[in-house]
Chains A and B, each alone.
Chain A
Amino acid sequence: KAGVTQTPRYLIKTRGQQVTLSCSPISGHRSVSWYQQTPGQGLQFLFEYFSETQRNKGNFPGRFSGRQFSNSRSEMNVSTLELGDSALYLCASGRQDTGELFFGEGSRLTVL
């Protein structure tokens, strides 16, 4: 069974640009959540989508947004990038019956 797939794995952007990250969850999983990982703040919850609807949202500014498609694939977008947005962005696919959360390898964003 394929795991969680995130693309791109690495990207470099400049301040003010926007970026879109993609996530394909494990087949059959309808929940996708996004996390930001930085050395200073650790792992922080961004938002969760379930059946194309945002179910939860973390404490991040409106520049961070996401969506989920009917095939459960998800994208997150960050607009007007700031230096502090440099981080590893992790997507997690969730099993509703057990509560287990499985992470992808992440997309490492560097903002110059």
Chain B
Amino acid sequence: QQQVKQSPQSLIVQKGGIPIINCAYENTAFDYFPWYQQFPGKGPALLIAIRPDVSEKKEGRFTISFNKSAKQFSLHIMDSQPGDSATYFCAAKSGNNNDMRFGAGTRLTVKP
């Protein structure tokens, strides 16, 4: 059951560009929306997360934009670098349990 839909599947940008990854969810009970970054052979690493009471959150070069009415949220990476090349996953969960629903992932390539 795909509760979080993520697009695009892959993305190629030039160094310094601003890749944008989008996610849409169905379950209105979701109240926590994290983004994870995963390098080959590694586990997902928490990048940034947002709750539905705010529309935007910035941490360093990473920004989440959240649209509660549209049930959508997105990740923007400012001044992207080749070291940002990785797979990015959006996710969502509700309440205190850790049954996290993940998007299918976006493979980002940042060209030098």
Give A contacts to B, CB under 8 Å: 4, 31, 33, 35, 42-45, 48, 55-56, 58, 90, 92, 94, 96, 99-106
* Contact present for B43 and A42 (CB under 8 Å): no
Distance of A64 from chain B, by nearest CB (Å): 15
**What DSSP secondary structure best describes chain A's contact surface?**
strand
Task: Find the A residue at minimum CB distance from B6.
Answer: A42
Q: Are A100 and B34 in contact (CB under 8 A)?
A: yes
CA separation between A96 and B97, bound complex, in Å? 9
Give the residue of B49, B93, B102 whose beta carbon is less than 8 angstroms from that of A43: B102
CB-CB under 8 A from B89, the residues of chain A are: 43
**Interface centre among A45, A58, A105, by most B CB within 10 Å?**
A45
Residue B69, interface by CB 8 Å: no
Known: A96-B96, A100-B34. A90 touches B43 (CB 8 A): yes
Q: Which B residues fall within an 8 A CB radius of A?
A: 32, 34, 36, 41-46, 49, 89, 91, 93, 96-105
Nearest residue (CB) in A for B41 is: A105
- Contact A100 B46, beta carbon cutoff 8 Å: yes
Complex Cα–Cα for A90 and B102 (A): 13
Whole-angstrom distance between the alpha carbons of A48 and B32 in the complex? 17
Q: B96 contacts A105, CB within 8 Å?
A: no
Please name 11 pairs of A and B residues whose Cβ atoms are closer than 8 Å in the assembled complex, sorted by A. Answer: A33-B100, A43-B44, A43-B102, A48-B97, A48-B98, A48-B99, A102-B46, A103-B45, A105-B41, A106-B42, A106-B43
Looking at the assembled complex, report how far the CB atom of B52 sits from the nearest CB atom of chain A, in whole angstroms.
12
Taking CB atoms, residues of chain B closer than 8 Å to A31 are 98
Contact of B102 among A33, A42, A94 (CB under 8 A): A42
Give the distance in Å from the alpha carbon of A1 to the alpha carbon of B65 in the complex.
Answer: 31
Contacts of B91 in A (CB 8 A): 43
